[in-house]
């Protein structure tokens, strides 16, 4: 029998509800029942579409990763030149903190969970790799860094930039004042000011 799409795919509804719940209450505080009742679907449907809890949450990570990578890529592709791309990367993280804190919280929470759940770890590690690759491609390639950065592989530099933006985001996220702290982001620009070739 063909897969029908009568009105709206239930598995999509479950998935989006799961994302909403997780980004609002956190991994440790969300149950399958929460997601079921919130999405107006029987509990057994969750296991029907996604085997078990880990299966469902794996799919959530997958979704989250896709959104991250897509948005990040769009952001950087829209700018031309390493310097402009750096600026757009910074503003994307600012936007993340200010306008999309839920997505960011989801990211942070899953990063922590991935320390304990091997299958999550694999996914999140992959996400970090893709992100650093993207930074390498867009910002570090065809660019000569300031002199004191000789000897560092572009992979190391990219990892550092991503780490700095991510780590700074977390601090701002936790802090009480979200405004004055934004200055830190800008440091990426000053530190890695690229000279175009």
Partner DNA sequence: CGTTTGTTCGGTCGTACGTACGACCTATTT
Partner DNA sequence: AAATAGGTCGTACGTACGACCGAACAAACG
109 binds, options DNA, a copy of itself, none, Cβ within 5 to 8 A by partner type: a copy of itself
103 binds, options DNA, a copy of itself, none, Cβ within 5 to 8 A by partner type: none
**Stretch in the footprint of DNA (CB under 7 A) among 17-25, 42-50, 65-73, 134-142:** 42-50
Residue with tokens 């933006």: 165
Q: Is 124 in the site for a copy of itself (CB under 8 A)?
A: yes
CB of residue 196 to a copy of itself, shortest distance in Å: 16
In contact, 103 and 68? CB cutoff 8 Å: yes
**Closer residue to a copy of itself, CB minimum distance, 43 or 112:** 112
Q: Is 54 in the site for DNA (CB under 7 A)?
A: yes
Site string for a copy of itself, 159-188 (x = CB under 8 A): xx-xxxxxxxxxx-xxxx----x-xx-xxx
Residues in the chain: 197
Q: Is 99 in the site for a copy of itself (CB under 8 A)?
A: no
In contact, 52 and 38? CB cutoff 8 Å: no
Site string for DNA, 22-41 (x = CB under 7 A): ---------xxxx------x
* 101-113 helix and 82-99 helix, angle to the nearest 10 degrees: 90
Q: Is 48 in the site for DNA (CB under 7 A)?
A: yes
Nearest partner of 55 among 13, 20, 8, 14, judged by Cα: 14
C-alpha 47 chain-centroid distance: 26
In contact, 59 and 50? CB cutoff 8 Å: yes
Q: Is 125 in the site for a copy of itself (CB under 8 A)?
A: yes
Element of type H or E holding 196: strand 195-196
**Closer residue to a copy of itself, CB minimum distance, 45 or 184:** 184
Total residues contacting DNA by CB under 7 A comes to 22
Residue with tokens 């091997």: 118
**Stretch in the footprint of a copy of itself (CB under 8 A) among 4-12, 47-55, 71-79, 148-156:** 148-156
| Euclidean distance between CA atoms 130 and 80, whole angstroms | 20
């Amino acid at each position: 029998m063909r897969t029908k799409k009568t009105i709206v795919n239930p598995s999509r509804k479950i998935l989006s509800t799961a994302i909403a719940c997780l980004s609002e209450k956190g991994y440790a505080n969300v149950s399958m029942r929460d997601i079921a009742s919130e999405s107006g679907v029987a509990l057994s449907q969750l296991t029907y579409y996604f085997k078990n809890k880990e299966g469902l949450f794996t799919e959530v990570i997958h979704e989250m990763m896709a959104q991250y990578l897509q948005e990040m890529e769009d952001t950087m592709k829209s700018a031309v030149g390493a310097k402009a791309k750096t600026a757009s990367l910074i503003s994307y993280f600012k936007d993340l903190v200010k306008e999309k804190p839920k997505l960011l919280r989801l990211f942070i929470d899953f990063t922590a969970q991935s320390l304990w759940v091997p299958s999550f770890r694999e996914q999140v590690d992959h996400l970090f790799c893709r992100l650093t690759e993207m930074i390498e491609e867009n910002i570090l390639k065809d660019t000569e860094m300031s002199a004191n950065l000789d000897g560092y592989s572009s992979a190391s530099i990219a990892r550092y930039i991503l780490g700095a933006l991510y780590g700074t985001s977390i601090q701002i996220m936790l802090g009480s004042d979200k405004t004055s702290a934004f200055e830190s982001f800008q440091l990426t620009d000053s530190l890695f000011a690229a000279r175009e070739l």
